[in-house]
Each structure stands twice: as C-alpha cells, then as structure tokens.
Chains A and B, each alone.
Chain A
C-alpha cells in the first residue's frame, strides 16, 4: 500500500483547513491537505453573500471569493503544499501512528504525519417528521451545493425550516435564483441568525413564522406541501395545523461538529451544547490532549466562517511552533484578539460560554501538574 509522509497533515480543505495550511506552509513546513470533496474551499465556495467581520476576515467580500483569496495565498508557497482532493481520511490508528485515506472509491493509502490539524467541519442536523424521506426534503447544505455550485434549482417553492443564519441566507439565495420561499418556520421565539439577514428576506415578502415547526410533509412520491403547527413555550404543538404549498422542504436546523478522527486519536472529548456537540478539549493554541493533534473551525465548535479562518491560523501557527519552527512573536495573541472581537457580540456570548467549558490551560501545565 502506498505510504505518504508529511510534517503537518491538514484534514479538511475548507475555511479553517485552508487558513491553517496557508499559515504553516508560508513558514516553510511541509503541509498536506486532504479534502473529501472534488475541490478545495469547503462551504466557502457555496457562499454567494458578502461576509461579515472586519477587513482581516475579508468583510464585505463574497464567500466564494474568499476561497479564491486563500487559494491564491497558498499559491505563493505551493512547493510546501501537497493537495489531495476527492480523498477521505478513513481512520487514525494510534498503535501505528498512521492515518488511512481513500481516494475516490478504489485507491487506499496510509499517511504518517508529525502533526495533524483536524478541520473536518460539521454535519447537518435533521429533524424527524412524517414523510421526511420523500424526494424534495433537502438539507440546506445540499440546496446550496446544487444551486450555487452546480447551477440547478431545487424546485419552485420552498418551505424553509429554521431561521438561523443558514436558513436565512439560503432563503435569500433561493430568491436570487428565482425560487419562491413560501415561509420560514422557526421553533424559537426569535430568529437565531443575524437580525439584518432576517430583515433582508422579510422585506422581500417572506413570512418568518416564529414558534412554528413542521409536522409532516405531504405527497405520495414527491412533496406537494407541508403541514406546519404553532408551538407553545414548551415547544408543544398548539392550535390548528396549517398547510403550506411547496415542492421543496429545506432543513436548516443547525450543525454538529465532525470529530471522529479526534476521538480515534484519543483526544479528550466533551459534549458542549453551546458548541453544538462533542468537541475536543483544547488549549488556546488549539492543541488537543493528544499533543500531535490540533483542531479548528466547525470541528471544534459551530461558529461563523470568519472565526473558523482565524482558528485555522491559530492551529497552523501552533503546529509550526510545536515542530520547532520559529514563529513571529505576538502573532498568536493577535489572532486571539481577533477571535475575541468576533465573539464579543450577541451571538458570541454562547460561544464564549461553551469555550469556558472546553478550553484548558496549556497542556504541559496540566500534565506536569
């Protein structure tokens, strides 16, 4: 079996992984990126809206353009970067300190790496309702992919379930693609995403029904509609069900971190509701309890892409440092300053609460006592 070697293995070529790779390769480390998709960029390539944040996180630039900017940055140190797309890491075997990977469906190989940065992103959550297996029920990520990457509209009229940033943004993108959004239902008494994103779809005439949820999809072979219901303060259905005509039901009820590799590496894991799932404990350098493993981006807790990019920088920098590469004094502190700024708004409060649980002092201090 083919065996590859690298200094820093970056698992996942999205916002966090590309930032980590760019940071590490620029300082001279040999970096290998493994990406399961056909191309690099992760969720960035589907984002047609302008990003928030500050200039440092490319505020005002559309997401897919940010992917281009990161790829261009990597271009300037490309001799240090090996890229494998269409390649999935299938496991980590700690007894041999070896990663296994699969390209396409028939080529297997193993990888030996001095450090690994796990930037595997997230998986979508789904909610149970009657008929949720009918064609026409999509995750929001799938809608974005077919629409914004492949240029195919998912249908004519959509019911969006969930008013977090993803639900709101994908609703807006659907309208841009000429698809009607019948309504957005949200179980909470308040939109979860940024208020301005909600205002933007509201003024285009889309109702956002707070304290509402989907009960079932209608249709025999394809979706012909959905029954929705109001919820009381305990999230129990109340009142009469209402019918929404639609041929697509798009689910945007949140994400959960993808962390299997970290678990396999024996990293101390912790369930943190504010970070939306099981995540690795880490110190401020994004190093996990397994000193060879770092984590960044949604894999370390669900957050905005702007924060994922900064976390990627932190992980890249820390991996470099732990390999003995000289790093610029004060850079880590600068990145943490940026992260703190990004997290000091209304939505950041939750993230900070979660981080309080999962952040530890640096591991050496913990291990030595």
Chain B
C-alpha cells in the first residue's frame, strides 16, 4: 500500500474521487454566493445533504448509500447542506469575494465561537495552519448549533483550506 493510499485511509482526501469532485472552474470563478464543495468519497447510509438541498443541486439519491453527486449549475451556495451534513463534509467557497480573497463557508461545532472581524487560523485537511483568515460572518442555518463560519482568506487555498482554529 503506498503512502497516498494510507493517507486516504486515515481520512485525508488526496485527489478528486467520486463524491469529492470540485466544481467546474469556469462556473465557479464568477458565481456570486459560491458553490458547494463536497468531500464524501465513501458509500455510507446517509442522505441529509441531498434532502436539505432546496434546489436539487445535490441530486436526489436513488440509494441512500450513494455518494453525493452535484449539479453545480443549480447550486446557490445557500450553505444548508453545510449545516445539515452529519459528517461535516460540505463546504461552500465563493471565489468572487475580492481579487485575491475567497470567502470560505465552513461548518464549525467547537467552542469558543469566533466573532465577526476576528482573525482565525486556516487549517488544511491535516490540521496544518496554512494562512490567517478573517471572520466575515457567522450563521446558524438550522438553529441546531452547527455554525457556518464565513472566512475570507487567499483564493489559492481552495484545494486545501477546510477548517479553522480560533485562537483566544
């Protein structure tokens, strides 16, 4: 077994796979509100991403074990799936935020909650700090204590930045 496979087997996405495909770049770069990035490459019995999606962008499952398949042309970046996914495997990234920054909308269930304007650490899939970001907004779409933190951070981190650490 090679290192890449071991890494994937320990919970790190190493390349695009079924259930973990990035949005098409052309559509993505001009899409206000952003598009969903799903990272759910394993067949497990779970469908709240699809059932919570108000536009059908996450296509309805024919089998509850399907991995998510996304029609990005229908995605509005509403973040309902971000807040609904029990595996915290949905993220919304808006590339139109500014010339060099993107707005990353990430699920967050830790304490303390950051506040608007606060600087937070941007973490990659292994928890390594790769940049500093600014909290632009905090929402709680389903009022169930899964928060969605909107963080502005460099655009070139779209393939890496997946979690934040609040430093207090």
User: Among residues 168 to 191 in chain A, which have CB atoms less than 8 Å away from a CB atom of chain B?
Assistant: 175-176, 178, 189-191
**Residue numbers in B under 8 Å from A342 (CB-CB):** 45, 64
Q: A195-B41, A344-B45 are in contact. Are A208 and B10 (CB under 8 A)?
A: yes
Shortest B64–chain A CB gap in Å is 5
- CB-CB nearest in chain B for A190: B9
Cβ contact within 8 Å between A51 and B126: no
Which of chain B's residues has its CB closest to A205's CB? B127
A347 on the interface (CB 8 Å rule)? yes
Min C-beta distance of B4 to chain A, whole Å: 13
A114 to B146 Cα, complex, angstroms: 45
Cβ–Cβ contact A347 & B44, under 8 A: yes
Q: How far is the CA of A197 from the CA of B128 in the complex (A)?
A: 18
Q: Which A residues, 312 to 369, have Cβ-Cβ distances below 8 Å to chain B?
A: 341-348
User: Are B126 and A202 interface neighbours, CB within 8 A?
Assistant: yes
Given A52-B44, A346-B43, decide whether A202 and B86 contact each other with a Cβ distance below 8 A. no
Contact with A along B8-36 (1 / 0, CB 8 A): 01111100000000000000000000000
Q: Which of B106-143 contact A (CB under 8 A)?
A: 109-111, 123-128, 142
Count how many pairs of residues, one from A and one from B, have CB atoms less than 8 Å apart in the complex. 134
Residues of B near A127 (CB, < 8 A) are none
**Nearest CB of B to A47, in Å:** 11
Question: Separation in Å of the A232 CB from the closest CB of chain B?
Answer: 12
When distances are taken between beta carbons in the complex, the residues of chain B under 8 Å from A176 are: 109-111
| Closest beta carbon of chain B to A231's beta carbon, Å | 13
A-B contact pairs, 28 of them (CB 8 A): A50-B146, A52-B86, A59-B46, A59-B47, A59-B48, A176-B110, A191-B9, A191-B11, A195-B11, A195-B44, A196-B88, A196-B89, A199-B11, A199-B88, A201-B11, A202-B12, A202-B126, A203-B127, A204-B127, A208-B10, A209-B10, A304-B45, A341-B45, A341-B63, A345-B65, A346-B65, A348-B45, A348-B65
**Chain B residues proximal to chain A, CB less than 8 Å:** 1, 6, 9-13, 39-48, 51-52, 63-65, 84-89, 109-111, 123-128, 142, 144, 146, 162-163, 165
